[in-house]
């Protein structure tokens, strides 16, 4: 694995929200990069701009200033359609609260991103489930599995298309200690398989499991002393 290959490179990123007549600057001249297979955690107080940052990196928000390169390509050179494909193929998301579709089985949920791209192949989803020792829940529905299993299933769904980048916004925020540990093991494994993992967390232990831990403060990402 070429661990020097940059998956995301950001320079001078600023972002402000408009509230009434006021501009609230949330991100201010922030620089950041993450390489292939690297696991980075971000900590910081509530309201410091962590989710705002993840949404921009994940192409869910395109109102900002600064330069962003994803997979070596400048975002400003890409059209909306190209960005949509890039997001589907190369970026996986996991959020704090599980987002599995209740009327589909775990395997069907995991296959959903592939189906959207027109390439569903349940064998691949099953392989992922086996790889993470979860094949026993393949044919269960979300209401039949535990909170920890739901979160792990949502993570496998995010990994289904073999994304270069996995974005996780407080993925253990709703889990007990044991299940948080399992999710962190999974994220570590995903990184070791070559996915760049960018995780926001409130959990100090979670932050320590990453290759690099950054702190969001004053609109920037700092390396804690």
Q: Which residues bind ligand ADP (CB under 6 A)?
A: 17, 19, 26, 44, 46-52
For residues 100 and 106, the answer to whether their CB atoms sit within 8 Å is yes
Query: Mind giving me the DSSP string for 154-204?
Result: HHHHHHTT--SEEEEESTTTTS-HHHHHHHHHHHHHHHHTT-EEEEE-S-H
| Assigned token pair, 183 | 């999710």
Q: Containing H/E element for 68?
A: strand 65-70
Q: How far is the CB of 139 from Mg ion (least distance, A)?
A: 33
Which CB sits closer to ligand ADP, 44 or 163?
Answer: 44
Q: Does 96 bind Mg ion (CB under 5 A)?
A: no
Which CB sits closer to ligand ADP, 46 or 223?
Answer: 46
Which CB sits closer to Mg ion, 173 or 181?
Answer: 173
Q: What share of the chain is helix, strand, coil (3-state, %, to 5)?
A: 35, 30, 35
What is the β-pairing status of strands 39-43 and 196-200?
A: parallel
Q: Which of 35, 48, 51, 195 binds Mg ion (CB under 5 A)?
A: 51
Angle between helices 147-159 and 177-192 (to 10 degrees): 10
Q: How far is the CB of 52 from ligand ADP (least distance, A)?
A: 3
- C-alpha span between 185 and 23 (Å, rounded): 40
Which CB sits closer to ligand ADP, 26 or 137?
Answer: 26
Q: How far is the CB of 111 from ligand ADP (least distance, A)?
A: 30
Size of the site for Mg ion (CB under 5 A): 2
Which CB sits closer to ligand ADP, 50 or 160?
Answer: 50
Q: How far is the CB of 222 from ligand ADP (least distance, A)?
A: 14
| Residues at the site binding Mg ion, with contacts judged by CB under 5 A | 50-51
């Amino acid at each position: 694995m070429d661990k020097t290959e940059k998956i995301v490179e950001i320079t001078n990123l600023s972002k402000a929200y408009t509230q009434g007549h006021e501009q609230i600057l949330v991100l201010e001249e922030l620089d950041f990069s993450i390489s292939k297979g690297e696991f980075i955690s971000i900590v910081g107080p509530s309201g410091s701009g962590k989710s705002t940052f993840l949404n921009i990196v994940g192409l869910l928000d395109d109102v900002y200033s600064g330069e962003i390169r994803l997979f070596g390509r400048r975002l400003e050179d890409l059209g909306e359609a190209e960005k949509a494909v890039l997001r589907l193929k190369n970026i996986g998301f996991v959020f704090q609260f599980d987002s599995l579709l209740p009327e589909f089985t775990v395997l069907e949920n995991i296959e959903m991103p592939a189906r959207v791209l027109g390439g569903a192949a349940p064998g691949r989803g099953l392989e992922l489930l086996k790889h993470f020792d979860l094949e026993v829940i393949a044919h269960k529905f979300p209401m039949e599995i535990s909170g920890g299993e739901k979160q792990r299933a949502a993570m496998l769904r995010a990994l289904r298309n073999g994304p270069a980048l996995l974005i996780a916004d407080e993925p253990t925020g709703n889990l007990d200690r044991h299940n948080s540990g399992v999710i962190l093991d999974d994220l570590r494994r995903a990184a070791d398989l070559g996915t760049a993992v960018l995780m926001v967390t409130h959990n100090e232990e979670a932050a320590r499991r990453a290759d690099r831990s950054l702190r969001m403060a004053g609109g920037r990402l700092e390396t804690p002393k």
